[in-house]
Structure 1
Amino acid sequence: MSILFKTRVLFVLSLLCIAPLVKGQSSDFTTETEMLLNRLNLENAGLHVVSKQDNLEATGKELLKYYKKRSFVKHPVTEGSSDINISEKDKKWANDALKHVFVGQPAYPSHFCGDDIDWNSRPVPDNEWVWQLNRMYFWNAMGKVYAKTSDERFAKEWCAQLVDWTNKNPRDEAHKYAWRSIEAGIRGRSWTGLFHQFIKSEHFTPEVLVAFMNSCYEHAEFLMTTYSSGSNWALMEAEGMAFIAFTFPEFKNSQKWKSEAILRLNKEMSLQVNADGHQRELAMGYHIGSIGWFYRTYELAKLNGLESAFPASFINSLEKMCEVPMKLGLPDGTNAQFGDAWAGEPMQYSEKFKDWSDRFNRKDFLFLATGGTQGTAPEQKAYALEESGLYSLRSGWNKNAVSMVLKCGPNGGGHCQPDNGTFTLYAGGRTLMPDSGSYIYSGNPEGRKWFRQTKSHQTLTLNGENTQYDPKLLLWQPGEDLDILVVENAGYDQLTHRRSVFFVDKRYFVIVDEAIGKATGDIDLHFQLAPGNAVFDHNRFSVNSDFKEGWNVLVRTQKQKGLELSEEEGWVSFEYTKKEPRPAFRYRLKKTSAQQPVHFTTLVTPYEKEIPDIKVKLDTLSKVSHDHLQITVTENGKKRIVKYNL
C-alpha cells in the first residue's frame, strides 16, 4: 500500500469521526461505518474509489454502489434466480412477517413479536421456538416473494428488521439465545442469499449495508472460535463461515475463513460419514441435512472456481451419502424414523433425487425421483449398512412392496436412541409397525424421555431397563426367496440380545429373539403397531391390526411354558410436538437362573384381506447361543425348513 493511499484512508476515517451527520444517520452509524472500513481490504479492486471519498455520505453511497454493481462473486441465489418457486407457506410467512407475526419452531403457531420486535419472545416453554425464531425462516420467505414479485413492501420491512436485529442482538452473554453456533451458521448461509435478493432494492441503504456487513463479519469471526467436531453442528458452522467468506472476499479475513471452513468440511466428511455412507448420528433427517451442508458449500466453491479444494474422495463420499435414503427409505419414500427423525411425506426426496441423478449420472436416483416412470430401478432389494448397523429388506421397488428396515448400530450421540434390534415394517402402501419417533426436544422433558426408552421400541429388554450400545453383525445372507439377517446387541451386563430375521418368499418375516447370558429377571419382547384398532388373541399369543381397508399385520409368538402377553402404553410421533396413541404389547418370560435358555419365535406377516394360515416352530434350540438355528414354517398345510449356520 502506498504512503499516499494510506494517508487517504486515514483522512477518510478521521472525517468519519468529525463530519456532520447527514439526516437520518446517527453517531452509532458513523462508528459502525468506520468499523466496517477497517475490516475491508480497501486495496481490493473496485474498493479504491470508496477510500477516496471525503465525507460519510459519499463513502456509504460508493460502498453501496460497488455492491449493487458487483458481479464477479457467484452465489446459488444469483445463478438460480429464474427458478424461484413460491409455496403457499412462503406467501403466508412473508405476509405475516410484514406484521411482525413470525414463525419460530414451525410446529408451533406463528406469534406476534411486538411492534417493537422482541427477538427473545417465548410464546411456548420450548427453547426450540426462540432458537429457530433467530434462524429467520420468515426472512427466507420474504426474500423469495420479493425476488419473484419485486414488491417493495417486503424489501422495506426486511431492511428494517435486519437493522433492528443487529442493534438488539450484540454477541454477548445476554443474547446467547440468538448466538448459538448452529444459528450463527444457518444465518451465515441464508443471509448471503438474502443479500443478493434485496441488494437492488431502493430500501437497501448504506445504513442497511453497514449493519448487514458488520454482522456478517461478527458471524464469521464467531464461527472461527467454535468448532463442534463430530456433530452436524460443525457442518452448519463451516457452511455459514464459507458462505460469508465466498460472498464477501473484500473482508481482510475472508481467505482465512474460507480456508478454515473448507478444511473443516473435508475433515468432517471423514469423521462423520461412515464407510457405508450414513452420517454417524443415525437419524435420517440429520443425514439428509448433512448431505446439504456438505453439498452446498462444494457447489458454492465450484461456482467460484474453487472446486479443487475438495478432493475426489469427498465427492465419492457425498455420492454414497445420497444412496442412503434410497437403500433405507420405505417404498412410499417416507423414513423409518429411528432416533430424532420423522417419517415425513411420501416421495419427499423427489427433487433431491433428481438433483443427485443429474450430479452423479445415476439412473436409479432418477427412478426414485420420478416414481419409476424414468430411469432404472435399483438392482438390489436388500442392503446392509454394516458400520452404521442399518439393514433393509424389501420385496420390490413399487409403493405396495413389503419392506422392513432394522437397526442395530453404535451410539450415534444425542440424536440416537437406545433401541438396537428395533425395526419398522411397511406393506401395501402403509407403515404397519412404525418406530415410535422422538416427539419433542426441549419443551417437554418427560415426554421426550418416554420416547427414548428401549421398551418404546420393537426390541427386547431386561426388567424394562434401557440398553447399552454394543452391536455385532453375525450373518447377512440375502437371497432370491429367503433373506437372513442375524445381529446381536450386548445391551446389558451379562445379557446379550440376538435377533435372527428370516424374510420368507419376500412376503413375511420369522423373527427369533434370544436372551443370552447369566443375568436374570423379566425378559420382555416389545412390539408396537400403527395407530388404529388391534385384535388381541391371548390364547394364541397373537395380535393383529384391524384396518377395515388395505393391509394389516399379524404378530404371533410361538406358545411356550411361562409365556405372557400383555398390552403396554403405546405412542407414536410423526410430527414435532405431536403424538398419538397406538396399540403396543409385550411378550414376557421370566429368566430365573443363569443357565435358563430364553427365546421367542415370532411370525410377523403383513396381509391383505384374510389372515394367512402360517405357523412357525423353532426346531433346534435346546439352549441359547447355538451357531445354528432351524425353523419349520407351515403355510396352508405345506411345510418348509428355514435355517442358518453361523
Structure 2
Amino acid sequence: MRGQSVICGLMLGASVMAPAADEVSEKLQWLLPRLNIPEVESVEDPTEQAVRLLNYYKNRTSVTPPVSTEWSTDMLSDKDLNYANDALKHIFVGQPAYDSYFCGDDINWASRPVPDNEWVWQLNRMYFWNAMGRVYAATRDEKYADEWTRQLVHWVNNNPRDEEHAYAWRSIEAGKRGQSWSSLYFQFIQSPHFDEETLVCFLSSLHDHADFLMKKYRAGSNWALMEAEGLAFIAILFPEFKRAEQWRAEAIRRFNQEIEGQVYPDGHQRELAMGYHVGSINWFFRTWRLAKRNGLEDEFSTSYMNRIERMCEVPMKLCLPDGTNAQFGDAWAGTPGQYAGRFKEWSQMFGRADFLYMATAGKEGRAPDKTAFALPDSGLYSMRSGWDSDALGLVLKCGPDGGSHCQRDNGTFTLAAGGRTLMPDSGSYMYNSDKEGRAWFRQTKVHQTLTLNGQNIDYAPKLLKWEPGEGQDILVVENKSYPNLTHRRAVIFVDKRYFVIVDEAIGPATGNVEIHFQLAPGGAVFDTAGLSVNSDFKDGWNVLVKAHPQKGLVLAEEEGQVSFVYARKEKRPAFCYRLKKEDDRSVRLVTLVVPYENEEPEVSVRRLDVSAAGNGELMLELNEGGKTKNVGLRL
C-alpha cells in the first residue's frame, strides 16, 4: 500500500520516499495527540501506530454514515459519470455554468480559466469528488479510489491554511468540504488505496477544517449554515477527535439559533431567493438527519423540525405552476418539476399529502387546498388559477431587505400561463458587480415595478390588503420607495383569468414616474398610440399589457435582458409607461395584464369614479368582448 510503504520507508531510512515520509510522519505525530483511540495510544512505534489507526477506521461500526453507501449503476447520472471520468484526467468542474478545465498533471488548485472568482472557489468545493465517490460506490472500480486518494493527499499538502491559499479557505468552501469529505470517507474507506498516508492527511485536514470553522460564524446568512454543517459533520462522524463534543455543541447551537433568526415565521429564509431557500432547507435538515441517525436529535430545539416543515411549504406556495422559480434576487428559474424529488422526501418526512401531490405531478396525494398564498413576513404573494402545470400563476414580491442576495425590486412580479413564463424576472446573471454584469440586473428599473426618475428604490414594505376569493384575488402592498414617494400597488386577479394592476405614486416628490414591464425573450408587438404591448409567440400562450389612457401618459421601449442560467444572458422586450409628476399630488396608473391563448382578447378598462390617487378607494369597469364588469378597491 502506498501510505504504508511511505511510513515504513521513513522508519527504515529509505531515501527515495524520505521527503513524503517526513511529511506524513510529521502529520501523524501532530494528529495523534488530538485523537482519543486507546488501541493506537497503547503503542509507541510510529509504523505500528499508523497501521493500528488505519485498522481502527476500516473496522469501526460505532458511527452511522449520513446516507447509504450502497449504490448501483442505474442510480448514476450522466453528469456523475462525466465529472468522475474527467476528474481521472484532472479535467475539473468549477462553477458548473462554465466548461470543465484541465488543471495540470500537477494539479493547480488555484486555476482561473475564466475571470470569475466563483470558478476557483467552487473548484475547491470538489463537486467532481462527490461524483467519483458515487461512481466508485456503484462500480467498485479501483481507478476512482486510487485517483481520489492521490488528489486528496495532493490538495492537503498543497493548500495550507494561510493567506496565499485564501482562494481555498473561505469559510463557505471549508464548510462544504467538511460535509462532503466526511461523507466521501464512507464511500472510499474500504478501498485498498485508502491507506495510512491517505488517512493521516484526511484526518489532519478534517481537524484543521473544524478548528477553522469554530472561529468563523457568518450569522444571519446561508454561509452560517454551511459553516455549521461542515463543523457538525466532522464532529458527529469523527467523535474520536478530543474536541469533537465541543465542535458538535457549537454547531448545533448555531443551527438552533439560525433557524429562529434566519427563517421568517411564514417559512421563507431571510435572503428571499428561492435557490438559497431550498439550499437552506438542506443545510438545516441534513445535520438534523445525521444527528438522528446517531441518536443525537434531542440536541436540537423542539420547534426545529416544525420550522423546517414551514420552509418546505414555501416552494409549493411560491413556485410557478410548472415548478420553476420566480427569479427574485440571486435566483435562477430552474427546470419544470425540479423539486419533485425533494417533495417526495418531504412528503415522507412530514406525512403530507399535498407534498406528495407536488412530487408526482398530481398522480398521487391531494392538491393543496388553496390557490392563493400570502407570506407577509417575507413579502411574497402568489395567485394561480389551479394546480395543473398549464395554470395561470403570478408571484409578487414586496419584502424586507434580504441582504446581498436580494435586489431593490419591491413590487415586482413574475407571470406564467400555459407552461410558459410570459413575464419573468430579470434574474442576476453572474456574481460580479461590473456595470455590464450583476450590477445591471440589480437595478430597480429592470424589474416590473415603479421608479421615480429611474432611480433605485429603498426597502420599506407594507401589506395593506390580502383578500383571496372564489371569483377574484385582491392584493394591495406598498413600499416607501423614496424619501418623498411611496409606491402602492394593487393586483386584482379577475375571474382567475387576467390581472388588473393599479399603481399609485403617493407623496410630494416630482419627476418621471415609470411603471416598468418586461416580457419573455421573443418578439413583441408595440402599439404606442394604444398604450399596449403583447408578446408574439406563434403557438401557445401570449400576454397583453395595456394601460388605461390618461393625459401625459406615454409608452416607451427600454433595454431588456434576462438571465435564466448563471453567466448567460439574452435580450428580451422591455418597456415602461411614463407619466410626468409635476406637483405634490399623487398619481395613479391602471394596467391590464392579460394572458391568452390563440386570439388576442378584446379587453379594456376605464375608471368609474374621480377619487384622488392615494385615498384608498377605486371603482373600475372592465369591458371584455362587449361584456362589462365592475371591480373595486377599498382600503
Whether 1:244 and 2:234 are equivalent positions in the alignment is: yes
Whether 1:37 and 2:26 are equivalent positions in the alignment is: no
CA gap of 1:113–1:79, structure 2 versus 1, over 3 A, is closer
CA distance in 2 between partners of 1:78 and 1:20 (Å): 41
CA gap of 1:483–1:538, structure 2 versus 1, over 3 A, is same
Residue 95 of structure 1: how far off its partner (Å) = 0.5
Whether 1:355 and 2:345 are equivalent positions in the alignment is: yes
Question: What is the match of residue 3 of structure 2?
Answer: none
Question: What is the match of residue 609 of structure 1?
Answer: 598
Match of 1:28 among 23, 30, 39: 23
Matches within 5 A, 1:212-291: 212-291=202-281
Say if 2:611 and 2:618, in contact at 8 Å, map to a contact too.
no
Whether 1:452 and 2:431 are equivalent positions in the alignment is: no
SS of alignment partner, residue 362 of structure 2:
coil
Say if 1:523 and 1:591, in contact at 8 Å, map to a contact too.
yes
SS of alignment partner, residue 601 of structure 2:
coil
Q: What whole-Å deviation, never above 9, does each CA across 1:135-175 have from its counterpart, x for those lacking one?
A: 00000010100010001111000000000000110001111
Say if 2:263 and 2:270, in contact at 8 Å, map to a contact too.
yes
Match of 2:532 among 542, 545, 553: 542
Matches within 5 A, 1:431-580: 431-442=421-432, 444=434, 446-580=436-570
Say if 1:103 and 1:111, in contact at 8 Å, map to a contact too.
yes
Write the letter of the residue equivalent to 2:504.
Answer: E
Question: What is the match of residue 313 of structure 2?
Answer: 323
Match of 1:375 among 352, 361, 365: 365
Matches within 5 A, 1:137-148: 137-148=127-138
CA distance in 1 between partners of 2:439 and 2:58 (Å): 51
Match of 1:598 among 584, 587, 603: 587
Whether 1:309 and 2:309 are equivalent positions in the alignment is: no
Residue 552 of structure 1: how far off its partner (Å) = 0.3
Matches within 5 A, 1:177-192: 177-192=167-182
Say if 1:16 and 1:30, in contact at 8 Å, map to a contact too.
no
Residue 49 of structure 1: how far off its partner (Å) = 2.0
CA distance in 2 between partners of 1:33 and 1:378 (Å): 57
Whether 1:402 and 2:392 are equivalent positions in the alignment is: yes
Q: What whole-Å deviation, never above 9, does each CA across 1:328-381 have from its counterpart, x for those lacking one?
A: 011100000100000000000000000000000000000000000000000000
List runs of 5+ in structure 2 lacking aligned partners: 1-6
CA distance in 1 between partners of 2:181 and 2:113 (Å): 25
Residue 442 of structure 1: how far off its partner (Å) = 2.2
Whether 1:128 and 2:128 are equivalent positions in the alignment is: no
CA distance in 2 between partners of 1:500 and 1:77 (Å): 48
Question: What is the match of residue 412 of structure 2?
Answer: 422
Say if 2:611 and 2:617, in contact at 8 Å, map to a contact too.
no
Say if 2:329 and 2:406, in contact at 8 Å, map to a contact too.
yes
What TM-score, normalized by structure 1, do the two folds share?
0.95
CA distance in 2 between partners of 1:429 and 1:69 (Å): 53
Match of 1:620 among 593, 609, 616: 609
Residue 178 of structure 1: how far off its partner (Å) = 0.2
Whether 1:169 and 2:169 are equivalent positions in the alignment is: no
Say if 2:392 and 2:417, in contact at 8 Å, map to a contact too.
yes
Question: What is the match of residue 4 of structure 2?
Answer: none
Say if 2:70 and 2:138, in contact at 8 Å, map to a contact too.
no
CA distance in 1 between partners of 2:594 and 2:634 (Å): 24
CA distance in 1 between partners of 2:287 and 2:30 (Å): 28
Whether 1:643 and 2:632 are equivalent positions in the alignment is: yes
Say if 1:230 and 1:271, in contact at 8 Å, map to a contact too.
yes
CA distance in 2 between partners of 1:418 and 1:17 (Å): 62
CA gap of 1:84–1:183, structure 2 versus 1, over 3 A, is farther
Say if 2:478 and 2:487, in contact at 8 Å, map to a contact too.
yes
Match of 2:148 among 158, 168, 177: 158
Residue 396 of structure 1: how far off its partner (Å) = 0.2
Say if 1:16 and 1:55, in contact at 8 Å, map to a contact too.
no
Question: What is the match of residue 8 of structure 1?
Answer: none
Say if 2:618 and 2:634, in contact at 8 Å, map to a contact too.
yes
CA distance in 2 between partners of 1:630 and 1:428 (Å): 30
Residue 55 of structure 1: how far off its partner (Å) = 2.2
CA distance in 1 between partners of 2:65 and 2:229 (Å): 13
How many residues align structurally?
A: 626
CA gap of 1:79–1:313, structure 2 versus 1, over 3 A, is farther
Question: What is the match of residue 59 of structure 1?
Answer: 49
Residue 598 of structure 1: how far off its partner (Å) = 1.5
Whether 1:587 and 2:588 are equivalent positions in the alignment is: no
CA distance in 1 between partners of 2:606 and 2:496 (Å): 19
CA gap of 1:84–1:200, structure 2 versus 1, over 3 A, is farther
CA distance in 2 between partners of 1:317 and 1:373 (Å): 28
CA distance in 1 between partners of 2:485 and 2:415 (Å): 26
Residue 619 of structure 1: how far off its partner (Å) = 2.7
Whether 1:72 and 2:65 are equivalent positions in the alignment is: no
CA distance in 2 between partners of 1:77 and 1:472 (Å): 44
Write the letter of the residue equivalent to 1:645.
Answer: R
Q: What whole-Å deviation, never above 9, does each CA across 1:28-64 have from its counterpart, x for those lacking one?
A: 21111011101101xxxxx322123342222111110
Say if 1:185 and 1:239, in contact at 8 Å, map to a contact too.
yes
Residue 84 of structure 1: how far off its partner (Å) = 7.9
CA gap of 1:302–1:79, structure 2 versus 1, over 3 A, is farther
CA distance in 2 between partners of 1:486 and 1:54 (Å): 74
CA distance in 1 between partners of 2:150 and 2:8 (Å): 23
Q: What whole-Å deviation, never above 9, does each CA across 1:580-605 have from its counterpart, x for those lacking one?
A: 1000001100011112x311100000
List runs of 5+ in structure 1 lacking aligned partners: 1-14, 42-46
CA distance in 2 between partners of 1:541 and 1:105 (Å): 43
Q: What whole-Å deviation, never above 9, does each CA across 1:476-524 have from its counterpart, x for those lacking one?
A: 0000011100000000010010001000000000000000000000001
Whether 1:296 and 2:291 are equivalent positions in the alignment is: no
CA distance in 2 between partners of 1:547 and 1:137 (Å): 39
Residue 311 of structure 1: how far off its partner (Å) = 2.5
CA distance in 2 between partners of 1:246 and 1:16 (Å): 32
Write the letter of the residue equivalent to 1:221.
Answer: D
CA distance in 2 between partners of 1:469 and 1:559 (Å): 30
Residue 639 of structure 1: how far off its partner (Å) = 1.5
CA distance in 2 between partners of 1:418 and 1:18 (Å): 61
CA gap of 1:77–1:208, structure 2 versus 1, over 3 A, is same
Deviates more, 1:549-558 or 1:68-77: 68-77
What TM-score, normalized by structure 2, do the two folds share?
0.97
What percent of counterpart residues are identical? 61
Say if 1:17 and 1:30, in contact at 8 Å, map to a contact too.
no
CA distance in 2 between partners of 1:88 and 1:433 (Å): 33
Deviates more, 1:510-519 or 1:616-625: 616-625
Say if 1:126 and 1:444, in contact at 8 Å, map to a contact too.
no
Write the letter of the residue equivalent to 2:622.
Answer: V
SS of alignment partner, residue 76 of structure 1:
coil
